[in-house]
Each structure stands twice: as C-alpha cells, then as structure tokens.
A and B are shown apart, each in its own frame.
Chain A
Amino acid sequence: MPRRTDIESILVIGSGPIVIGQASEFDYSGTQAVRALRKEGYRVILVNSNPATIMTDPELADATYVEPLTPEYLELIVEKERPDAILPTVGGQTALNLALALADRGILDKWSVKLIGANEHAVRLAEDRELFKQAMLEIGAHVPRSGTARSREEAEAIVAKIGLPVVIRPSFTLGGSGGGWARTREEFEANIAFGLSESPVHEVLIEESVEGWKEFELEVMRDTADNVIIICSIENFDAMGVHTGDSITVAPQMTLSDRQYQEMRDEAKAVIRKIGVDTGGSNIQFAVDPVSGRRVVIEMNPRVSRSSALASKATGFPIAKIAALLAVGYLLDEIPNDITKKTPACFEPSLDYVVVKIPRWAFEKFPRADTRLSIQMKSVGEAMAIGRTFAEAMGKAIRSLEIGRDGLDDGRGPMTREELLAGLRVPTWERIFHLRRAFVSGMSLEEIAKHTRIDPWFLDAVRRMVEEEVGLRGRRVEDLTREDLRRAKRLGLSDRSMGRALDCDEAAVREARRRTGVLPVYKTIDTCAAEFEAETPYFYSTYEDENESIRTDRKKIVVLGGGPNRIGQGIEFDYCCVHACYALSEAGFETVMINCNPETVSTDYDTSDRLYFEPLTFEDVSAVLDNERPDGVLVQFGGQTPLKLARSLEAAGYPIMGTSPESIDLAEDRGRFGKLLGRLGLRAPEHAEARTGEEALEAARRIGYPIMVRPSYVLGGRAMAVVFDDAHLTRYMASARESSPEHPVLIDRFLDDAFEYDVDALSDGKDTWIGGIQQHIEEAGIHSGDSFSVLPAWKVGPEQLAEIREATRRLAVALQVRGLMNIQFATQGKTLYVLEVNPRASRTVPFVSKAIGVPMARAAALLAAGRSLASLGLPEERDPVDFFIKAPVFPFKKFPGEDTLLGPEMKSTGEVMAISPRFGDAFAKACAAVGTHLPTEGRAFLTVNPYDKTSLLPIARELADLKFALCATEGTAAALAAAGIPAERVLKVNEGHPNAVEEMRAGRIQLVINTPLGGASHYDEAAIRAAALALGIPCLTTLSASAAAVEGIRALQEERTGVASLQEYHRD
C-alpha cells in the first residue's frame, strides 16, 4: 500500500525535558520519525520544549515549536498550523498523555485532526490498567491478580482478597513514578497514599506480587495489513521487582526454550492485535515463574519506548523510523532493510552477539535517597555494550558506566556474611559487584541464585568471569601465554582489571597483548547474523579472528561521544557530537563515532559514516583508533568523558584535534589559570586549593566565609557546596577526599548578591565569535545547570556586557581555543569575575544555538578541524530580539526525603526553553514547560531570611497589586507590616496549628516564596518545600526568581500568550 494521501501535514509531539524514565531516547525516536516523514513529502510540524535535542533543530522539521508541552499550548499550535494528523507515539508517555488530553478536550474533533500510529482507543486500553487486564483475560493471557483503587478503602478491600505482598502502581505515570512494593502493612499504607497522590487520575492498581520471576520484553511492530513482527527480545538479568529501566538487561533473551519463546511471541501478537495498535511499535513485558513456567503479561506500551531505542541499537533495526512509515500507511514488506539494502524490513533480526544494557544512577547527587532498586525507576541513564558472548558484553558494559569500575572487582574487599547476604538479597546498583564477592567468598552458585533470584545461566557466566580474573592473581604478566590473554579478553576482562589482578599497570597488559597478537577485531551489527551482506558500517569489538572493519583511505575524524547520561552530562553533549559529525561529513571528512549510550542520536548508524559502539575507556578507544588511524580525534564535544581521555590519548601519540588538552588542563588548573587571568588583567574570586582539612581552614580564614568548595576536575558540580563555618568545612573535607582522593579541593570566595552569566563562544585562536551571553535569573551560588537563565541578559548594563565580551575574546586567544568555549562570569556591583572557563562544548550550546539560530557546534567542528573563523561566514554577533529562557527540571519526586533546595551541586536532569517577545510571558511559559503552573490568583505565602526582608518588599507590593492575598511567617510579616504591606500571619510548622504546611494542604496557599538561611536547611523550610513539591505549589527559593515569577504572573493576567516556530523567530 502506498503512503497515505489523505493527510498532508503531521504534528509530531516530542517528550520534553529529560527526566528520570524519559530521556534522550525520544530524541532518537522523534528525529528518526521527523526525517522519515519529511522524506515522504509530508509537512512536519514538531513541538518539543527541550532545546537540547536534534529533533528541534530548525532544519529538521518544516515548523519547529519550542513551546511548553501542555494541552493549552498544543491547542494553540493545532489552531495555528491545522495539521491533518498527530503522531503521538514517538514522544514517550508525555506525547501519549498529551494526545489523550487533546482528545478529551475535543480539540482533535474541533480541528479534524487524526491520531496516527496509535488510536485513542488503543492508548486507553493499554494505559488503563483495569481495561488492559480485562483485555488480556479476553485473549486468554494471564495477568497478575489485581484490582484498581481510587481510595484507601477500596485499596483495603483489594488487599483483603489478594493478600500481601502486592505491587502498587499509579495509573498514567512515567517510569513507574509513585509505585512501590508493599510487603508489610506499613509499606502498604505509605505506598497507597503516595501512589494515589502521584497518579494524575488518583488511581492505583494493586497487584499480586510476581517478585523474583524472570522478566522479558518483546519489541513488536505491526502494519495496517496486520503483519506482525518481533524486532527484539530482551531478558532482564535482575528478576521481577526491579523496574526494567533499573535492571541490567540482555538481548536477545537467553534462557527460554524455543517453545517457551514462541508461546510468548504468539501472545505478544495477540496482545498488539487486541489492544488495537494498528501500526508502529509496541513494547510488551512478560514475567515467567521460574518454577512453574507460568507466564503473565505485565504491561504494554503502545508506542516507541526506551526499550525500543535499546532494541534498535541492539539489532540495527530502526524501530522509530519504520514506525513512522507504518503510521502513514506503508507495509512492512514495502520498506527496505537499511542495513542489507536488499531484503525487506519485514523480518525478525537475528543476533550473533549479545547485548547488555546497564543503568547509570546518580545516587551520589542525592545522599538521602533510598538506593534500593524497586519498581520506581531511579537511574538517570544507561550504557549498552556488545560482545560475542554475554560475559564479554557484561565486562564492556560495566566499564562503559564510568563509575570508576573496570570490572566486577569494586576493590572493597570481603564483607561479613550478613553484609554480603544483604547485598545479594536487596537489589542496588552495587549488587553486580557483590556477585563477584560472593563467588570469591566461596558461596555456591545455587546459594547466590537463591538470594538474588538471578537465573543460574547468567550467574554461571559471571562465575566464569570471576574465576578468570581471580585466576590471574599471583601470576606475572610476562608469563601469560597468548591463550591465557585471549581467554581473559574473551570473558570481557579489561586490561585494567587484569592489571590489578596481575599487580601491574594497564599498559603492561596492553603490551603483553600486543606482543602476543591478542588484539580486538570489529564485527558488524547486520540484523541477520551474516546471512546477507551488510552495507552499514556499525561495529563492536570482540576477540575473534576476522576483522570486518576495514579502514578506508579517506581523510577521517573520530568524534568521541559522551557515554551514559548522568546529571551534568546528558543529551546536550550528544547534540554537539551529532552536529560535529554532520559538519565534518559535509566538509568531506569520513566521520567515525565512538559511544556507548543507546539512547542517543549519535549512536544511530546514519549519524556518522562509521559507528563503533564501544566503552569510552582508554583501552577501547585506543583500539578503535589503532584500527581507524584517523587524521584527528575530537574530544571537545562529548563533555567530561572524552576530556578525561584527552591527555592519555595525546600522550600515546593519537592526534587530538582542536583546542589542545594542554589548554583544557590549564583552564582546570586553578593556580596556573589564576596566573593567566592575572596576566590578562582579569579577576577570579579569591581562591585556594586544599588537600587537607588544616589547609582548608587556613584558606577559609584568609578568604573569609562564605566560601564555595568543590573537588577539582568535575562536571556538573559534583560534591560542590557553599560553606559558612569551620565545622561544615571540616565535614566537607572529609567526604570530598573520599569522592575524589587524587585531586585537591578548590575553595572560592562565594559571591553573594552577584549575577552570573554563561557565555558560549567560538574561536580559532585568533578571532572569537560570541554566540550569546545568558544571564542567570537566580543569584550566583546556584549551579549554572540548575538555574533559570535568559538570553539576552535582562538586567545588566552595556558597559558590563562589553567588558564580558572583551574578557571572552582575550581568554579565547590566551587559551588558543579552536572550537567551542564556555565561560561563566559573575558581576558583583561593578566588578567582573571569571568563575570558570571550559574550552570545550558546554551544556548550553544547544540552547544558545537555537536562540540565535546558528548551529554553533557545527562551526566548532570545522574550527577544530583547522578552518578559520573568517572562512565560516558566520553572521554578525548580535543578541536575539525575543526572550529565550532556559529552565531546569528536577527529579526530586523520585527521591522522597531529598531536600529540593538548590545550591552549587547540580541536581537537574534536563531543561526546557521558552520563548516570547516579552520576558514575563517567556518566564510563565518556562514554568509551565517544567510543570510548575504559576497561579493567577490566590494567596501567596512569604517566608524569607533576614537578609532578604528589604528586597522582598517590592515583590510583595507587586503581588498585592496583582490582587494576591499575602500571608507570611512572623518575622517576614513584621517586615511587611513595617513597610505598610498587610499580610496575614501564618504559623511555622513547630508553632502550632494550623501551620503553613497545613494551610498548603488545605489549598489555601497558591504560591510560596521561601528564601532559606543557607547552609544546612532548617527543618521548617524543608517541610515547606517538601509540601510544595508534593502538592505542586510553585515554590521560589530566591528573590530574583520571585521577581521573575511576579512578572510571569502579570503576563498571565494581562496578556494572551502565543506560539511561534523557531523558523518564524529566525526568519530574516
């Protein structure tokens, strides 16, 4: 069947900011879908609030709306663009929920818009747990026994029937948010309350526990002719009980017999038909009882999912692209397989390798979070690794994580039996390392299987890895034979972990391997297990005989990717890497991408000319470089991951391109950098370095409190803090030395009442081009990644801007920047400070690029490759006319008990961009886009620290002027009263009843302004912030943000907001 001709324009909905449970995989899927649809001649309209995406690049879609993903803004876009259809299946749960909301509000009918990919009925059937269960029973599939509750009473009645333990799953939430196990009465009561409040429809499913069962997923596709194929099977290493996003997963499935697998396959086909997903991809999860073999259907996602991204990368089958083509009417057998070119996409990929995905958590950022893994997803990213065996893939996966582990040995030595048993029984991110410890301690495989519920087949592979590594102990590297080395490498052991076992360094192992010819070869991901010739150069390393990656004689550049997403390093760097590939390909280079993150556009096989899916370690990267012998290696686009390798790669003789690692190091080295600033006549806040507590106290006395402290060489402000006194400093020094022992702690004077700026610029070492100067909306002290910021700067004089520009140019030349550079400045009064210089891609590059309409990363790649700035023909430097606001998104809801107070430690997972010709409207949009809806009326609760009481007055007056009722705690109320602003007194939490939190719960407070005293947060403040978070009440913790919010509220009251596409903003 040819493509549909009854539709001409299609609105594609993206997934918004990166949050836990919904990450960059939807940039991959949306980008593929938009490209495919546009190639078919449709007019494609895209909406996504996340600027750090390839999909929102203005050249990708016909009209690109960076607008809040709310039904209100979607309606404005629909009204303006009048699309014939909406494709809601490539933007995660966000897009599906929006599509349903549009249907519910009658917007689809009103504007005659069709849903394609999945219809309303199918989405509801798959999403509503009770309907889904009923549908499954109708096709004869088993499901866990369950019931739906909308109140505590209904919940009690269900548990009386099923009995504990149960699982509680709120309806319509992302990544299982708000869900949990209840094994005891206490857990049950706590989880019911939380689950009901988390569900947007106040509904939870209470389900029979299938904890400990084996977990599988099938990626299924269907076309309009009812052809159904299974793209990939995935088996979870961790048994049921751990969210699949938090599980180590393996593809293809390993432990089902063909008969069991075919039964599951048949059931998957029946499920997709019953749910009625007419076209596109779905993900279906199953649990299998390891004892009885009983199989139950757990859930189905009627859309492209995180697992689809994994399955795409694991098989080479581009699920999102094909799903988009199916949605417009193509049949599976009409679409060619991109990889073989000769065979159709209507087939089921066969894998002759094993893929392991391992999640990346960020618990180090949330010290109070519960690190036990359960049904609510907590990981912030993932790495994928490919090997010819499970062991090889597992070894590579672990070292892809960049958590300082090079294998199964965590270096922590033995534990008591009790500790070890707890480590095995309770799933945590460390359990994989406890498995080694258990084997080393002599525990039997059967016993480990009993405690962990991990299938013995997997455990046996782990055992082989452990035995191999432990067997190296006491031997000398010189004595290892070719066979010894090859056997170890084939079991996934890294040079570094072998070196540790052999008591030698990584280089000695590498040397021994080279001497004996034990070198990796590269095999192709070809979808067909070599049955057909593959055209696509998509490779992984393994220790075999034949190398399939034959280097070409083209001029080539290797781009090192960013590795797994984590807080502080995410999609923004992938965006930069992708642009570097595009630019260099266009410039005639062969581009080679190395990365290990399956959720990205950079690991799509058509982003670069050649793709290596490999860990970003020295061992794995240098092996690729040896195979490719490139003309240059780009390390400046992938964030901290490739930078960490820059020095060692350069030392090993590989050609690093662009800004030299020496300059990068210089910028990181406080002492040398301070001298450079001095020479340039620039100023940094007074600072010092300390390796011990005494040195730190000494420095603090010289600089004066408050000070900002952080370990050197980190990204995302890991382990940063503002310190106000000696006691806090002493505590900090003790923990910092644990997290980064080899590096000193940096101490800076903390600039209070200062404004902060982020500058992104391009340079060729002589000329410099400034893309944008963003001003943070909050005062200095909050990590730049966690701050609202605005471009152009809104509260700064022209002299200071000129000074910033001049300083930027001087720094670029001094550091001989070739490519991108990011500088953080602060102004305190009239004084300009240089806070930080990063001669590399920064998190803000995509935001700025979209705001100014110039893809800076592309230009940077060409600069790095040796082009001059003058030759690039960039437009004149100028500020945008409209206001572009960046707002952060936080994962606090996933970590109950964690204080939401912001500081120098970055905690946000993602960001949005909001645009308007008016600041207030842009700010209100930014708030809406991150899910904080500013109120337009009601009662504002004010409680500020003593320093802020004066500055609060104009804000309070404005709020009163906007007809808000004011209430305040005693001190704040007194200050307001003294200034003649009436405010009702509200009790603090410890002052009695009804107190502030109770007022909030009762719906009598719509806005909170709470500036904390700093340092350790007080109990009262934390309780207020926690309540605001739980109740969805906007809570502002700085006065500058409060002032911006007031402008936003004014805009909401007075103006009608509008939408415009990036193409319209940049039309000239």
Chain B
Amino acid sequence: MNGLLVLEDGSAWRGEAIGRPGTRFGEIVFNTAMSGYQEVLTDPSYAGQIVVMTAAHIGNYGVRADEAESADVHVSGFVARDFPERWSGTGGERSLAGYLDEAGVLGLHGLDTRALVKRIRTEGAMRAGISTEFDRPEDLLQKVLSSPGMVGSDLALAVSAPEISVSPASGVEQFHVAAIDYGMKRNIVRLLNAAHCRVTVFPASSTAEAILAARPDGIFLSNGPGDPAALAGPIRQIERLIPERPIFGICLGHQLLGLALGGKTFKLKFGHRGANHPVADVVTGAVAITSQNHGFAVDPDRLPPEIVPTHRNLNDGTLEGFRHATLPILAAQFHPESAPGPRDSYGLFHDFVRSMREAEEGVSRMPAASSPPASSPTHS
C-alpha cells in the first residue's frame, strides 16, 4: 500500500503505508529515542502530531499491553525508515502494524526519514498530512494548508480524563496527590503510587475548589499536548492552587506553572523529543540523561523573580526546571517518569513527596535548599 506524506513547506515523501488507510493531519515532529515506540504512541502529549522516529527499525519487539502509557494511541501518524513485519521472540504480544490498524492510525515507512528529519530540523515543526488516498502531492498540500496548527491548540482538554478516578498508594499510604490530567502518562501515576501516594486524577477542566475539596496533600500537574498559552482556564485554576499546596509540574504542567507564576512560553523550532538529552542540575552540576517531549518551552529570559531555575538543557541552554523562591513548587520540563527513556530523574518524585512531608510538618520552605542530585542512585 503506497502512502504519501506532504509537509506544509510543499515537500512530498513517498513510502509504504501500514496500519489504517486514510488521510490524517498533524504537526510533524521527530523523536530520537531508539526504543520505546509503544510509549510514544500512547503518550497523550503526542495528540495532534505525526511522529517520525529516527531509529532505523521500529516495531522490533512487538507490542505489549503493559508498556502502554495510556489506553489509546494518540499520534495522528507514525513514520519510520522500516517497520519490520516480524518481532523478536521475547515478550512481544502482537505486531506494531496490527496495533496501529486497530487504533486507526496510519504509518509510513521505506522513505528517507533522515532527510525528512533534517527538513524538520531546518524548517521547524510544521503542519503535515499523511495519506493513502491522495496520490498528487498538490492535492494533499491543499488539505494540509487548511488544517489547524499547534499554536493556540488546547488539545489537552480533549485528551484529558473525562472523570475523576482514584489510584491507591502501594503499601502504606502516606500522602494524597491530586493529579490534574492534561494528557497524563501512566508511569507518573505508577511512580507516585510507588512513592506511597494515593492519586486522584482530575480532568483538566476541574476547578481549584473541586480539587482542594478532595483535601490533597499535594497537587501534580501532568504532561500533555498542545500550546500551554491556549489553556487560559486551567492556568487560572493553577494560580489559585499555588498558595495552597505543594505543587509538582511536568512538561506541559511545567509550562502551565510557569505561565501561572507570570512567566512566558514560546514555541521551539522543532522541539525536544528523545531519550538522550543532558540536563544539568544548576546547583549541584549533576547531569541526568532525560526523556523529553515538548514543542513549547518556558522563556528563561522572562521569568518573574520568584521563579528560580533548577535545571538547564546542556544541548541548547533551554530551561528544564524551576522551583518557586518561597513556596513548595517544583517543575520539570523533561520527563522524570521516563517511559520511554532513562530513569535518571526518578528522584524528583521523591523531592515532591518531601515537599508534601515538609508542608505537613509545618516546616517553612528553605529557599536555598536544592534538591539532591537528580541522578542519585539511592532514589532509583
């Protein structure tokens, strides 16, 4: 089955299609992680995106029920150099092609994905269309140009859980966390549970009152897709939560916290998506290799004074994390929960737990105290 990919810049790419035939649109982005395609497919942060995996072969170990990061496949389209038909003998339950088909997702392979990635790198992430129905690039381009872009997109509201749900702590419950789901990955809940936290998951549209009414010890702001600046409603609720409880935000949650605290976000040219980005703890200098997936970032040059940078990306110097100068508020732009990618930064979840403990004990925040090295082995 032939497939066609057309980018907003007019470039056309032909390959072989797998999965569900049809036509899909989305923002084209690339991810440099060499494993973890299933986590990528099911990460709600990829909603509205056509994801190009840079690794040569994708699908090698098949698909496993327990390696999904949400109930659904969220990408609009999936592209790689090669989707092999056969998967490895260890643990795989089914083929990637079958999984995509069932999820209604179209995949494209056999094309020069490296050239495609270089195009995205130089031209920036842009709108694209992927299709088995169009043969003439001009026709598909017309449709691409009329599809919505990512700036101003409030996709988070669409992928958020519609209902409140509760996930119990492992072992003895120590804290209760209210997690606002903007497109949350399962591993975040798993890690909070493992840190003895009961997690109540709230829809992205929940009000501060509703959340506080559940009497959480701390509030977690999840990852998610789209433009943080388009989420005016959730940002207002976060502003009201800030003085109330310890808060920890990841990725979109980090951006929303930044906005709620008076910072600004901007769109990166082609974003950070992969599992090999070095992030330094600005206080200790310790470097963690991190999992990343974001197209927007908090502008480090326009931070309000109460935001103290804690993490910096060593590749491009972008802001990777901050805390509040006086309040128990932490945020990470990268994905300490990994899945996929390194688990060097699990320690941040323990930092969050500690902030809840300190709040409970009435310990005043010590502005100068830094988090321990994120890569500290005692946390992993």
- A residues neighboring B (CB under 8 Å): 214, 225-230, 252-262, 265-266, 269-270, 273, 288, 290, 293, 331-333, 342-344, 346-354, 388-390, 445, 449, 455-457, 460-461, 523, 528-533, 544-546
Contact = CB atoms under 8 A, between A and B. Distances in A.
B90 A255 contact: yes
Contacts of B33: 258, 350
B81 A352 contact: yes
B351 interface: no
A968 B81 CA distance: 71
A257 B67 contact: yes
A347 B276 contact: yes
Contact of B315 (A229, A252, A388, A532): A532
B38 to A, nearest CB: 8
Q: Which of A226, A293, A331 has the most CB of B within 10 A?
A: A226
A226 B375 contact: yes
B115 interface: yes
Most interface-central of A252, A258, A390 (chain B CB within 10 A): A258
B51 to A, nearest CB: 14
Contacts of A449: 89
Given A255-B61, A258-B33, A544-B112, A273 B343 contact: no
Given A257-B64, A456-B88, A457-B86, A270 B377 contact: yes
A270 B377 CA distance: 8
B339 interface: yes
Q: Which 7 A-B pairs have the closest CB atoms?
A: A258-B36, A255-B88, A460-B86, A546-B115, A529-B54, A258-B340, A544-B112
Contact of A350 (B54, B61, B285): B54
Nearest to A545: B112
B377 A273 contact: yes
A607 B340 CA distance: 37
B34 A351 contact: yes
A261 B54 CA distance: 18
Interface in B337-353: 338-343
Contacts of B92: 257
Interface string B6-50: 000000000000000000000000101111101100000000000
9 contacts: A258-B36, A344-B314, A347-B276, A348-B276, A350-B55, A352-B54, A449-B89, A544-B115, A546-B115
Interface in B242-299: 274-278, 280, 285-287, 289
Nearest to A523: B114
A278 to B, nearest CB: 15
B86 A257 contact: no
B57 to A, nearest CB: 7
A265 B380 CA distance: 12
B87 to A, nearest CB: 6
Nearest to A458: B88
A225 B285 contact: yes
A257 B285 contact: no
Contacts of A214: 90
Interface in B96-151: 111-115, 117-118, 121
Contacts of B285: 225, 331, 333
A530 B314 contact: no
B305 interface: no
A57 to B, nearest CB: 35
Most buried by B among A214, A253, A348: A348
A164 B54 CA distance: 45
A353 B56 contact: yes
A349 B280 contact: no
B82 interface: yes
A333 B280 contact: yes
A351 B36 contact: no
Contacts of B375: 226-228
A642 to B, nearest CB: 30
Contact of A293 (B55, B91, B276, B339): B91
A347 B86 contact: no
Given A261-B35, A347-B289, A350-B276, 6 more contacts: A227-B287, A257-B36, A344-B315, A348-B342, A352-B114, A390-B56
Counting chain A CB atoms within 10 Å of each CB, the highest count among B112, B275, B287, B338 belongs to B287
B112 A257 contact: no
A273 B344 CA distance: 14
A212 to B, nearest CB: 12
B206 interface: no
Interface of B: 30, 32-36, 38-39, 54-57, 60-61, 64, 67, 81-82, 84-92, 111-115, 117-118, 121, 274-278, 280, 285-287, 289, 314-315, 338-343, 373, 375, 377, 380
A98 B115 CA distance: 49
A541 to B, nearest CB: 13
A252 B34 contact: yes
B114 A457 contact: no
A388 B118 contact: no
Contacts of B60: 254-255, 457
A533 B122 CA distance: 9
A530 B57 contact: no
Nearest to B37: A258
A314 to B, nearest CB: 12
A350 B342 CA distance: 13
A346 B343 CA distance: 16
Nearest to B118: A530
Given A333-B278, A546-B112, A455 B89 contact: yes
A256 B287 contact: no
A545 B5 CA distance: 15
Given A255-B60, A344-B278, A389 B81 contact: yes
Nearest to B289: A348
B289 A544 contact: no
Contact of B274 (A228, A265, A531): A531
Contacts of A455: 88-90
B54 A388 contact: no
Nearest to B39: A258
B339 A389 contact: no
Contacts of B339: 258-259
B286 A530 contact: no
Contact of A389 (B30, B32, B56): B56
A306 B43 CA distance: 38
Contacts of B342: 262, 265, 348
B90 A352 contact: no
Contacts of A260: 61, 90-91
B289 A257 contact: no
B118 A546 contact: yes
A262 B118 CA distance: 28
Contacts of B114: 352, 388, 523, 529-530, 544, 546
A592 B346 CA distance: 46
Contacts of A530: 54, 114, 117-118, 121
Contact of B287 (A288, A293, A332): A332
Contacts of A460: 84-86
A262 B57 contact: no
Nearest to A543: B112
Contacts of B111: 545
B343 A266 contact: yes
Nearest to A392: B56
Contacts of A346: 278, 287, 314
A223 to B, nearest CB: 9
Contacts of A445: 86
A545 B115 contact: yes
Contacts of A388: 56, 81, 114
A945 B359 CA distance: 94
A979 B114 CA distance: 81
Contacts of A389: 56-57, 81-82
A253 B34 CA distance: 9
B289 A352 contact: no
Contact of A266 (B30, B38, B380): B380
Contacts of A348: 275-276, 289, 342
B187 to A, nearest CB: 10
Contacts of A332: 287
Contact of B286 (A227, A256, A265, A544): A227
